[in-house]
A and B are shown apart, each in its own frame.
Chain A
């Protein structure tokens, strides 16, 4: 493993997910090491989102195990997974659209809260996340009214509000322009650097992947075909055939 710390925070061992006759994930094994940024790449339909859904409990594998922090959590449901300290964002942005940005962050904090909201707001204060993500100007705006790029940023903020150990990002830069992508890259690197959060992300933009990730895992047709440092994966002939050789733009 090439991560900064070799201890695996999350271990996916021989996991298969099926939808009827379709095998979306075929005996995939993968480790996410403590403190690293892992990029999961692969052509469309390779099973990337399915893998993320299996880790966060939305799908359950019919074989294999998922171990988080040394404990088996293969069959947990999404709320229980969240309680373990795994937060995620969605490909199509799942925000509380009727709530303000501030309320979205506060709600993301729900699991961590003990007393009343007023007290919580006083001593935790979502201000840190708001400053961090540079969204001061829109804190009172209803999330549903924001442009897409900002919605993705708020969704990241909501995930951060839970102070997760592991953050799963499903295409955090999809549909963004160059400038927004650069901002998002900076946020992801900062989250990893400042909070020490382990991050696994799915991304299509190869430039971004090569820039920010410590390690890259490649899926194709539900199987893992490569796993290693970005430069190493870039040179892998199997990856070139499956993915890099084909233009997706």
Chain B
């Protein structure tokens, strides 16, 4: 018994103190992993904020963006041009989704829109496979997957660029949401469709914008995940890993998606390395879900989500 308690409460911290450089590496690894989750979660948050739709297809959008980018690069298109074209494809996709999926279903129950996004997931996966093929592809955007050492800590170049890109993207989105007219219009639409219409906000344009932005976020996420583990159909499943992030951070909060991602990324890495041996490992696989479950029980709106206000 005392041995177990020692193993839980003392030994891991002794390990951390004993080898600070290794601790820092684990921490940094967790932060990087967390930012990758955040990137996917961010796409969810954007769409959920503006339209109340839980977009199940966000993961498929990440896959589709990555497939398109890789496909273009494989066909000899220069990387920069391929990026521009992929962005254009994602914006066009947003336009099509607004016309074909959202517009006919306007004013329907949320669950119906949710089901529609499940359909969209299958479509995107199938369409992506049809156009670009089903093989695992290597995405090379010119950043080497090499490490360098700073103050005795090993840092991966690719992960570092991913982190910097995410941070910049988040900062830009935060400013966009808080400081611009479109950002305010997005928040207004998220809050009440009718009221937004009546003060002159065109819903359709807003939806188109928000799905485009979610598409662009999907490109960034697709590049980062694709460069790390290859572009393959399991990319579509990383969406599932970002669900706990959303529950933690709150479905409507951009900072929440980031902080939630970081907590889960760092938490699961720390748990795996320092507490994993106690239970025979594999903490990384369930840590996020257990944490999300605890949040659902005690703080369902998440860390930063808007408290659900309802008058009866």
Q: Do A and B come from one complex?
A: yes
Answer yes or no: B197 CB below 8 A from chain A CBs.
yes
What is the CB-to-nearest-CB distance from B178 to chain A, in angstroms, rounded to a whole number? 8
Q: Which residue of A lies closest to B202 (CB)?
A: A79
For window 113-165 of A, CB contacts with B under 8 Å fall at: 113, 116-118, 142, 144-145, 148, 158-159, 162
Do A98 and B199 contact each other (CB < 8 Å), given the known contacts A106-B184, A144-B309, A144-B311? no
Contact in complex: B187, A96 (CB < 8 Å): yes
Partner-binding segment picked from A20-28, A83-91, A180-188: A83-91
Q: Kindly report which residue of chain B lies nearest to residue A90, judged by CB atoms.
A: B194
Least distance between A42 CB and chain B CB atoms (Å): 22
* Contact pattern, B 256-283, Cβ under 8 Å of A = 1, otherwise 0: 0000000000000000000000000000
Report the minimum CB–CB distance from B251 to chain A (whole Å). 12
Q: Which single member of B184, B187, B192, B200 contacts A79 (CB below 8 Å)? A: B200
**Which of chain B's residues have a CB closer than 8 A to the CB of A159?**
198-199
Cβ A98 vs Cβ B198 within 8 A: no
Number of interface residues of A (CB under 8 A): 33
Contact partners of A78 in chain B: CB under 8 A: 197-198, 200
Q: Name the A residues within 8 Å of B203 (CB-CB).
A: 79
Q: Is the CB of B197 within 8 A of A107?
A: no
- Are A110 and B192 interface neighbours, CB within 8 A? no
Are A111 and B195 in contact, CB atoms less than 8 angstroms apart? Answer: no
Residues of A within 8 A of B145 (CB): none
Q: Is B14 an interface residue (CB 8 A)?
A: no
Would you call A95 an interface residue if the criterion is a C-beta within 8 Å of the partner chain's C-beta atoms? yes
Instruction: State the CA gap A96–B306 with chains docked (Å).
Output: 13
Cα–Cα distance between A107 and B202 once the two chains are bound (Å): 14
Interface: A210 (CB within 8 A): no
Q: Is the CB of B188 within 8 A of A82?
A: no
Q: How far is the CB of A223 from chain B (nearest CB, A)?
A: 26
Give A98 Cβ to nearest chain B Cβ, in Å. Answer: 5
Q: Are B200 and A111 in contact (CB under 8 A)?
A: yes
- State in angstroms the CA–CA spacing of A78 and B179 once bound together: 25
CB pair B192–A97 under 8 Å, yes or no, is: yes
Q: Closest approach, in angstroms, between the C-beta of A17 and any C-beta of chain B? A: 18
A117 B179 Cβ-Cβ under 8 A: yes
Pair B184/A87 contact, Cβ less than 8 Å: no
Given known A97-B309, A106-B184, A113-B181, contact A162–B200 (CB-CB < 8 A): yes
Contact call A95/B198, Cβ cutoff below 8 A: no
Pair B192/A96 contact, Cβ less than 8 Å: yes
Contact check: which of B184, B192, B306 meets A95 at CB < 8 Å? Answer: B192
Kindly identify, within residues 33 to 84 of chain A, every residue whose CB is under 8 Å from any CB belonging to chain B. 56, 58, 77-80, 82-83
**A96 and B198 contact, CB distance less than 8 A:** no
A142 pairs with B309, CB closer than 8 A: yes
Interface contact A96-B188, CB-CB below 8 Å: yes
A169 to chain B: closest CB distance in Å? 12
B202 and A94: CB pair below 8 A? no
B187 / chain A contacts, CB cutoff of 8 Å = 96, 99, 107
CB nearest neighbor in B for A161: B199
Asked whether B194 lies within 8 Å of A79 as measured between CB atoms, the reply is: no
For B191, B194, B201, the residue with the greatest tally of chain A CB atoms inside 10 Å of its CB is B191
A142 to B309, CA, bound (A): 10
Q: Are A158 and B191 in contact (CB-based, < 8 A)?
A: no
CA distance A77 to B106 in the complex (A): 15
Kindly state whether residue B42 has any CB partner on chain A within 8 Å.
no
**Interface residue? A108 (CB, 8 A):** yes
Q: Once the chains are docked, how many angstroms separate the CA of A78 from the CA of B194?
A: 9
Q: Which B residues touch A113, using CB under 8 A?
A: 181
Q: Within the assembled complex, what's the spacing in Å between the Cα atoms of A148 and B203?
A: 27
Q: A158–B309 Cα gap in the complex (Å)?
A: 20
A-B contacts, 23 listed (Cβ < 8 Å): A78-B197, A78-B198, A79-B203, A82-B197, A83-B200, A88-B198, A94-B192, A94-B195, A94-B198, A96-B192, A96-B195, A97-B191, A98-B190, A99-B187, A99-B191, A107-B199, A110-B185, A110-B201, A116-B179, A116-B180, A142-B309, A159-B198, A159-B199
Interfacial residues, chain B to chain A (CB-CB below 8 A): 179-181, 184-185, 187-188, 190-192, 194-203, 306, 309, 311
A contact residues vs B (CB 8 Å cutoff): 56, 58, 77-80, 82-83, 87-88, 90, 94-99, 106-108, 110-111, 113, 116-118, 142, 144-145, 148, 158-159, 162
Sample of 18 more A-B contacts, CB < 8 Å, known A110-B185, A111-B200:
A78-B198, A79-B201, A79-B203, A94-B192, A95-B195, A96-B191, A99-B191, A107-B185, A107-B188, A110-B188, A110-B199, A117-B181, A118-B179, A144-B311, A145-B309, A159-B198, A159-B199, A162-B199
